[in-house]
A and B are shown apart, each in its own frame.
Chain A
Amino acid sequence: MNTSPMPLLEISGLRISTRGASALHLVEDINLSVGRGETLGIVGESGSGKSISCQAALGILPSALEVTAGRVVFDDTELTHLDNRRLNHIRGRRIGVVFQNPLSSLNPALTVGHQIAEGLRVHKGLSRKRAWQRAVELLDVVRIPAPHLRVKNYPHEMSGGMAQRALIAMAIACEPDLLVADEPTTALDVTIQLQILDLLASLRDELGMALILVSHDLGVITRMCDRVAVMYAGQIVESGATNELFAQPAHPYTSALISSSAVNVAKGTSLTAIPGQVPRPRDFPTSACRFANRCAHAEPACVAEAPAWTPIREDRGTRCRRVAELELPGLREPDAASTAEPDLAAASSESVGDAALDVHQLVKHFAVRSSRGRRQVVHAVDDVNLSLRPGRILGLVGESGSGKSTVARLLLRLIDPSGGRVVVMGEDLARLKRNLLRKQRKHMQMVFQDPYGTLDPLMNVGQSIAEPMLVHFSMSAAKRRDRVFELLDRVGLDPSVADRRPAALSGGQRQRVAIARALALNPTLIVCDEAVSALDVSTRAQIINLIQGLKEREGIAFVFIAHDLATVHHVSDDIAVMYLGRVVEYGPADRVYLAPAHPYTRALLASVLRPGEHNEDSGHRAIGEIPSPIDPPSGCRFRTRCQFAVDICAAETPQPMPMPGGGWSACHLNTPSPEAAVILTAEGFS
């Protein structure tokens, strides 16, 4: 896939294997190239081999792995067999790297300035003083405020977003020709993600760098990349120009990835999930298509012989034998999902009926001590009102630090509220005595982001699911076993899973087990705290469909907490948007998503990256980062980041104002958004 006459980096026939006698090939036959000023995206789920391919190119593979075939040529130099001394002339000087988790990628024992200056002194021979000055300048280049102070910070004194900027400053310090960014925004909030991507793009253009961007997120790839390679189970299955590849995918996996993304699918319909899981390296089939067990288009020939790389035209190819005959769905017409008119009649959230959950003026303040021993109050949750009827899903969105997880824990009274009421099934939990609380708890269950934390690694799945029944019900062992099978069936797992340990399951399967366990006590309410955030795109779709099914078939009410507005919109009936401990906007999902009224909701929405769409800037941005919940800003808490803030915003707390289309928004401006205006005329409101 050569584009420019002379690619800067060219990887050909790369194979990476584990060291040792029975070597496993983790990736095979990787061919990639990137030219100056160009951006190449590599997409894939975890385990696809996208990160180690990049690490191999830089000679920073973990010690247990080695390159066993192929070449990596960077500007006429073969890198795979270069010794460390010569590699060090290239690493950091001509190729910079940005890793996924900014806080653990910075050395905790050294100041940020030291870490930036270090590369400059080694590669550019700058004096200690000069390198330090340059570090300050670089922090300014990556738009860190007060760089001369920040330069003396240790990594833990920075927020995630700021640490990522520092890491980028470090990577570009020597003005490299190539920047490799491995999931650079995955660990960050969406508003910060957008800021970081913009920064990367502008640095790429200013410095004329080539950029390789590794990501699992199609939206990120679309926004940034000219060309893209899709990896699956250690191989590249498709590559080509980004727009074309997303519009007309030539491999069933690419096509399935696109349709399993929540942003791309009409609300209320179920997501196209890819069944099953990515095979583990030891199970990679050698003489079959690696996607065959999950492919909707597989035919006998697919498992008889591994499909060869098929060029479609220059710079575009696929690894599917049926490419000529298949007509695969790509992205829908731009925004087909969001142009659908919100059904306002059905969406009214104020309708009466017995609430499964009623939250009244919920408050949670923590006392902490500052470094100087002063008592301070964290305003984690302030005056939150929510209500939820059976068989509905309430989505709760916000950045980290917005208080949404604290709300989740308050709902189940895992922590005690400082004030307010949480009424579940007519009982006020906040006032219940401990022993009664235990009884009431069986009506409410929680599913966490990391099911590892909730499943005992020493128990098998069957025991884990049966455990809550042991505590709350008296039933015979045989009955319990039947019930476990029934629960496994309800979450779409095979009964044989009951005998396995959590470690033997994939992330998606573990999350299903966690849900089965939650269902064991016939709850009326399940709180999902970032339950799908850690899952790969295709698995995420499976779990979302499962949750929607449970809601529809069994009338269970869900509180669905996530930071990703698109996913929340897809699953929820109503959405509450939280910012710094307060709900700032609330209403029917479609109204909030399609006609957001609060500036913060709009900023969140503007940071949703849709695959296949080079989001033009809507002008709605959240400036900077979320402030500390200790001494939150007076008046409107969003005012420090709001581009519309006026005097009154600092003086008075905005009160909820009903919005046309349902729900409310708490902003002093309180003008319905232009989109809302359209709805107004259409629906005949005045």
Chain B
Amino acid sequence: MTALVTRRLLTSLPMLFLVTLMAFSLSYLLPGDTATAIAGEGANAERVEAIRQQIGLDQGFVSRYVSWLGGLLTGDLGTSWVTGQSVSSELLRRLPVTASIAAGTLLIAVLLGVPIGLLQGMRARRSFDRAALLATAVGLAIPNFWLATILTGTFSVQLGWLPALGYTPISSGVVPWMKHLVLPCLTLGVFAAAEMARQVRTSYLHVQEQPYIQTAIAKGIPARSLVGKHIMKNAAAPAITVLGIRLSHLISGTVIVEEIFGAPGIGKFAIESIRSHDFPSIQVLILFSAMFVVIINMAIDVVYCFLNPKVRLS
């Protein structure tokens, strides 16, 4: 297991290195002069020159890149051009928001998607299955900004149960924290749960047809352990893969949801940074997403290999 993790980490190093390179080159891809672009229209030449010096554009690409990399390694993620604050403190401040939304979404996907998919598998082609197939098709088709509008319209505006905007940290009370999370999480969770249900149903039905399930039935073991042990253990692996993929897509999902619900998370941070050409922040955010994906994939591998002894050995 540790060997697997180390190997995965080592093989992802070159990839991460490439990401840093690409993220860093971004500031050079802006049309025209970088400093002018940052200074904005109407800035005088002195201001532009001041900026150029301040961010070190007068130094060569290589030396800037190396010093940036060195900073990353020592934990200095750079300073925002816009706010003048350190990027790391901004990131840390916003991380809990996004993490809460992501966790809530996954929770919905698992708590809703898995039982629905399982029930569908067990009662395949009967009325519950058909209804759920329809419902999940709808869940997969609804665009999330639209769903967000409907949800806020219903639960905040009409019923007034939940806040439509903003975020309160958990430190100022669990209930308000949760109340603020429900709508963003639902917005993302409906899709994730529908996807999960579909995957669980498919793999359940696939596993059910396998010869070893016939063996297990012929052994006369009760339905409970048949489903719980024999089917689920084999059906879980593909479902978990799907969950992992969803999780790594969640980053882009939170960008939209945080914008709609005005939650000050990383997604919103990304949008703000891009709007204000705040390159130090953008670079770190790109790197952060890449690392997030690498870690998720590794986690999937570890779980997968726990579920599938064939992989575990090789």
Mark A residues whose CB is within 8 Å of B: 55, 58, 60, 62, 84-85, 87-93, 95-97, 99, 101, 104-110, 115, 118-119, 122-123, 154, 156-157, 167, 170, 371
Binds A, one of B194-202, B220-228, B283-291: B220-228
Query: Quick one: CB contact mask for B194-221 with A, threshold 8 Å, 1 for yes?
Result: 0000000000000001111111111111
**Which of A62, A97, A104 is within 8 Å of B218, CB to CB?**
A97
Beta-carbon contact of B309 and A154 below 8 Å:
yes
CA distance A88 to B216 in the complex (A): 11
Chain B residues in 8 Å Cβ range of A123:
220
Q: A109-B308, A109-B309 are in contact. Are A88 and B211 (CB under 8 A)?
A: no
Q: Which of A91, A99, A119, A156 contacts B211 (CB 8 A)?
A: A99
Q: Are B222 and A58 in contact (CB under 8 A)?
A: no
1/0 per position for B66-106, CB-CB distance to A under 8 A?
00000000000000000000000000000000000000000
Q: Are A122 and B234 in contact (CB under 8 A)?
A: no
With A105-B211, A105-B212 known as contacts, the answer to whether A110 contacts B230 (CB < 8 A) is yes
| CB of B174 closer than 8 Å to a CB of A | no
17 chain-A/chain-B pairs, Cβ below 8 angstroms = A60-B217, A88-B220, A89-B220, A90-B220, A91-B219, A92-B218, A99-B211, A105-B211, A108-B234, A108-B308, A109-B307, A109-B308, A110-B229, A115-B216, A119-B220, A119-B221, A371-B313
A residues less than 8 Å from B214 (CB atoms): 55, 60, 99, 105
Residues of B within 8 A of A107 (CB): 212-213, 215-216, 230, 233-234
B218 touches A58 (CB 8 A): yes
Q: How far is the CA of A298 from the CA of B215 in the complex (A)?
A: 42
Interface of B is mostly: helix
Q: Which residue of A lies closest to B221 (CB)?
A: A122
Distance A170 CA – B313 CA, assembled complex (angstroms)? 24
Q: Is B310 an interface residue (CB 8 A)?
A: yes
Kindly provide the distance from the CB of A445 to the nearest chain B CB, expressed in whole angstroms: 35
Question: Is the beta-carbon distance between B222 and A88 smaller than 8 angstroms?
Answer: yes
* CB-contacts of B262-314 with A (<8 A): 307-310, 313-314
Question: With contacts A93-B220, A119-B221 known, is A104 near B310, CB below 8 A?
Answer: no
CB distance from B58 to the nearest CB of A (A): 49
A376 to B216, CA, bound (A): 38
Within the assembled complex, what's the spacing in Å between the Cα atoms of A95 and B217? 12
Q: Which residues of A contact B309 (CB under 8 A)?
A: 108-109, 154, 156
**Which of B220, B223, B310 meets A108, CB within 8 Å?**
B310
* Chain A residues whose C-beta falls within 8 Å of the C-beta of B314 in the assembled complex: 371
Residues of chain B within 8 A of A119, CB atoms compared: 219-221
Give B124's nearest chain A residue, CB to CB.
A63
Distance in angstroms between the alpha carbons of A92 and B313 in the assembled complex:
31
Inter-subunit contact B223/A84 (CB<8 Å): yes
| Least distance between B162 CB and chain A CB atoms (Å) | 42
Interface of B with A (CB < 8 Å)? 209-223, 225, 229-230, 233-234, 307-310, 313-314
B218 touches A60 (CB 8 A): yes
Residues of B within 8 A of A96 (CB): 218
User: In the complex, A108 Cα to B211 Cα: how many Å?
Assistant: 11
Chain A, residue nearest B213 (CB): A107
Residues of chain A within 8 A (CB-CB) of B225 are: 118, 122
Instruction: List A contacts of B222 (CB < 8 A).
Output: 85, 88, 122
Extra contacts besides A84-B223, A104-B211 (17): CB < 8 Å: A60-B218, A91-B218, A99-B214, A105-B212, A105-B215, A106-B212, A107-B212, A108-B212, A109-B233, A110-B229, A110-B233, A118-B219, A122-B219, A122-B221, A122-B225, A154-B310, A371-B314
Closest CB of chain B to A223's CB: distance in Å?
25
Contact between A157 and B313, CB atoms less than 8 A apart: yes
Residues of B with C-beta under 8 A to A115: 216
Contacts of A97 in B (CB 8 A): 215, 218
- Distance A109 CA – B212 CA, assembled complex (angstroms): 10
> With a CB–CB cut-off of 8 A, which chain A residues contact B220?
87-93, 119, 122-123
Q: Are A104 and B210 in contact (CB under 8 A)?
A: yes
A371 to B312, CA, bound (A): 10
Smallest distance from the beta carbon of A155 to chain B beta carbons, Å? 8
* A96–B215 CA distance with the chains assembled, in angstroms: 10
Q: Is there an interface contact between B233 and A106, defined as CB atoms closer than 8 Å? A: no
In the assembled complex, the CB of A400 is this many whole angstroms from the nearest CB of chain B, namely 20
Most buried by A among B210, B212, B222, B223: B212
Complex: A62 Cα to B217 Cα, angstroms: 11
Complex CA gap A85/B217 in Å reads: 11
Tell me, in angstroms, the Cα distance from A174 to B241 when the chains sit together.
38
Whether B215 pairs with A167 at a CB distance below 8 angstroms is yes
B223 contact set on A, CB distance < 8 A: 84
Contact A170 B308 (CB under 8 A): no
B210, B211, B225, B313, most chain A CB atoms within 10 A: B211
Bound Cα distance A85, B234 (Å): 24
**Set of chain B residues within 8 Å of A110, measured between Cβ atoms:** 229-230, 233
Which A residues are CB-close (under 8 A) to B233? 107, 109-110
> Hey, which chain B residues are within 8 Å of A104, CB to CB?
210-212
Task: For residue A370, give the distance in angstroms from its CB to the closest CB of chain B.
Answer: 10
Distance in angstroms from B91 CB to nearest chain A CB is 38
Please, which residue of chain A has its CB at the minimum distance from the CB of B236? A109
- Residues B215 and A106 in contact, CB atoms below 8 Å apart: yes
Q: Please, which residue of chain A has its CB at the minimum distance from the CB of B210? A: A104
Whether A156 contacts B310 by the Cβ 8 Å rule is: yes
Which residue on A lies nearest to B222, using beta carbons? A88
Contact between A92 and B229, CB atoms less than 8 A apart:
no
Q: How far is the CB of B120 from chain A (nearest CB, A)?
A: 15
Question: What residues of chain B lie closer than 8 Å to A84, measured between beta carbons?
Answer: 223
Q: Shortest Cβ distance from B258 into chain A, in angstroms?
A: 39
Give min CB distance, B35 to chain A, whole Å.
51
Q: Which residues of A contact B213 (CB under 8 A)?
A: 107
Shortest distance in angstroms between B106's beta carbon and chain A's nearest beta carbon? 23
How far, in whole Å, are A91 and B218 apart by their CA atoms in the complex? 5
The residue in chain A whose Cβ has the minimal distance to the Cβ of B223 is A84
- Bound complex: CA of A90 vs CA of B219, how far in Å? 9
Query: Distance in Å from the Cβ of B203 to the closest Cβ of chain A?
Result: 12
Chain A residue contacts of B217, Cβ below 8 A: 60, 91
Residues in B neighbouring A62, C-beta threshold 8 A: 209
Chain B's closest residue to A90 (CB) is B220
| Contact partners of B211 in chain A: CB under 8 A | 99, 101, 104-105
A residues within 8 A CB of B218? 58, 60, 91-92, 95-97
- Closest Cβ neighbor of A373 among chain B residues: B3
Residues in A whose Cβ lies below 8 Å from that of B216: 107, 115
Residues A99 and B215 in contact, CB atoms below 8 Å apart: yes
Q: How far is the CA of A157 from the CA of B314 in the complex (A)?
A: 11
**Which residues of B are found within 8 Å of A154, using beta-carbon distances?**
309-310
Please give the distance in Å from B6's CB to the nearest CB on chain A.
Answer: 12
Interface centre among A62, A85, A92 (most CB of B within 10 A): A92
Considering the complex, give the chain A residue whose CB is closest to the CB of B125.
Answer: A63
In this complex, what residue of A is CB-closest to B208? A63
Most A Cβ at <10 Å: residue of B213, B216, B234? B216
Contact B212 A92 (CB under 8 A): no
Cβ–Cβ < 8 Å partners of A170 in chain B: 215, 219
Minimal Cβ-Cβ distance residue in A for B233: A109
Q: Which residue of A lies closest to B217 (CB)?
A: A60
- What's the Cα separation between A88 and B221 when bound, in Å? 6
A110 to chain B, nearest CB (A): 7
CB distance from A250 to the nearest CB of B (A): 34
Within the complex, the shortest CB–CB distance from B126 to chain A, in Å, comes to: 12
Cα–Cα distance between A93 and B222 once the two chains are bound (Å): 12
What separation, in Å, do the CA atoms of A154 and B311 have in the docked complex?
Answer: 11
- Name the 10 nearest CB pairs between A and B, nearest first: A92-B220, A91-B220, A92-B219, A88-B220, A97-B218, A154-B309, A109-B233, A107-B212, A104-B211, A105-B211
**In the bound complex, CA of A119 to CA of B314 (Å):** 30
Q: How far is the CA of A105 from the CA of B216 in the complex (A)?
A: 9
A682 to chain B, nearest CB (A): 52
B219 close to A109 (CB less than 8 A): no
CA gap between A90 and B209 in the complex, in Å: 22
Interface centre among A89, A97, A105 (most CB of B within 10 A): A105
How many Å lie between the Cα of A123 and that of B222 in the bound state? Answer: 10
Of chain B, the residue at the smallest CB distance from A118 is B221
